[in-house]
Structures are given as C-alpha cells and as structure tokens.
Amino acid sequence: MSFAVIQMVSQDDIAANLLQARRLLEQAAAGGARLAVLPENFSALGRRDAAALGRQEASGEGPVLPWLRSAARELGLWIVAGTLPLPPRDEPDGKPRACSLLVDEHGEFVARYDKLHLFDVDVSDSRGRYRESDDYAHGGQIVVADTPVGRLGLTVCYDLRFPELYGALREAGAELITAPSAFTRVTGAAHWEVLIRARAIETQCYLLAAAQGGIHPGGRETHGHSLIVDPWGRKLAEYAEGEAMLLAERDAGEQVAIRERMPVLRHKRFFAAAEPRQPDVETL
C-alpha cells in the first residue's frame, strides 16, 4: 500500500525533464511504491507551444506518452502523470486540455482527467499575470479509478481552491486524491499547506500533492513543499525545494476507523440558497 510523490524543477527541455523524472521514479520503485505521482507540467514548464505538443503526442509522434508507458512497464509502477497537454479525444485539432493521466504497471492508460479549473489570476510576483486559459480549455468531469493502493480521485493544482470537487470525488468512492501542482511561490507560501490539509480533512482521504519547487524559464518561481497528508490531516512527508521523492503508506484500517468515528458523508445536509434582502431590523 506504499505510494510516492515526486517533486521536480522542470525546465523547457523535455528530454532533460524525462531523464530527471525517470531517476526519481526508479527511486520510488526501489522504495516499494506501487504508485507514484509526478507534478504538474513535469515534462515541460515554460513553453508556449502547448497546442503543438499536444497534437504531436495525440498523433503518436511525441516523446512523452511512449516514455510513460515504458517507465510504468519497466518499473512495475502505476504512475499519475502530473499534467501534459492533449487535445480532446473527439477533436484532435482542438484546444488542448491540461491532462492528468493514470498509467498502470503494464503501461496501459487507465484514466484521463482534464483539469477543470484554470489559473487565470493576478499574483504579486515577478510575472504578475497568469492566464492558463490562453493555452488550455477547461475539462468537464470528475475522474476516479481503482489502483493497487485504493480508489483514486484525480485533481490538479488550482482545483484545490474548489472543495465541491473534492466532495464529489469522496462521494464517488475516492480513498486517495492526487494534486499534481505548480503553485507560485507567493500563493504557495500563503495557501498551499492549508488547502492540502483542509481537502484531506474534509474528504477523509489521503492527499498526494506533487509539486514543482524551484526556478523555471522566464523567471517563474514555484513553491515546492510537496506533501503527503493522511485522512486526519497529518503530514506524513514533506520536502521544501528542489527535486525529491517522498514515500508513505496507506493505513486502510485506520482510514476506515476515522470515517466510522466521524461519518461526515452521512451527516451532510443540503440547503436552499437564501434570497438576498435587506435585514429586518425588528427581528435582529
């Protein structure tokens, strides 16, 4: 029931990034992990040719998908492939999605999650303006899949700010949730850990948060601090900056006990939104 989280400092050189990722995946497999999570944009960060890269991969001419298949097969490892650009399945020339792929130990693609929430935000850092929707289109559905370490829900980075997504994954049976990310240094310092731990506590799931952690092309700086958090909100592993492999185990019995002692899913109540109105002074 062991799993690993990989932290990287990806650049715009795909071949170099894949070499780095392979080395860290080998460490995960040697440590006994059955599943490993790569960070967002693990194969390239800082490039602006997402559409071209996505079309190349979808046509079978790109380097990343064959690399994923062979790495999973040769290492006997399930891999959550952070994100990479891929066009919609039914629209090969369409705007790419930021896809998180789940690959099994035989090198077969088991699931694909297209990132729902895109990072269109102004940040007080050296870059200042982020508009992910310039390069990507939104996804449209949640994804869960069975793995050797439990039922896995897939999310990506900015999704962490939308707890309703995580609640839906829990209701769909998720026991672990992945969050490959590339948080900025500014937003990460302010919100990263509290969001990861909150989503774990709310859903009573393990959160596997694989981050980018360093300086990238164009002066972009990412926060790092990859985390593995258990269903009680405890940090099982963390690494600040630079590349790293974090390893932890799922205690399925304890997770069941936590959910039985505090059955939040059964306690959930639905309510109608209130109509906006001026307060009635006489009832205050």
* Residues classed as catalytic: 40, 115, 157
Q: Which long-range contacts (CB under 8 A, 24 or more apart) does 56-65 make?
A: 57/84, 57/85, 57/86, 58/86, 58/87, 58/92, 59/92, 63/14, 63/15, 63/18, 64/14, 64/18
Q: How far apart are CA 54 and CA 72, in angstroms?
A: 21
For residue 211, give both structure tokens: 């981050």
Q: Which amino acid is at 109?
A: F
Strands 206-209 and 176-178: parallel
CB atoms within 10 A of CB 24: 21
Element (H, E) at 52: helix 50-58
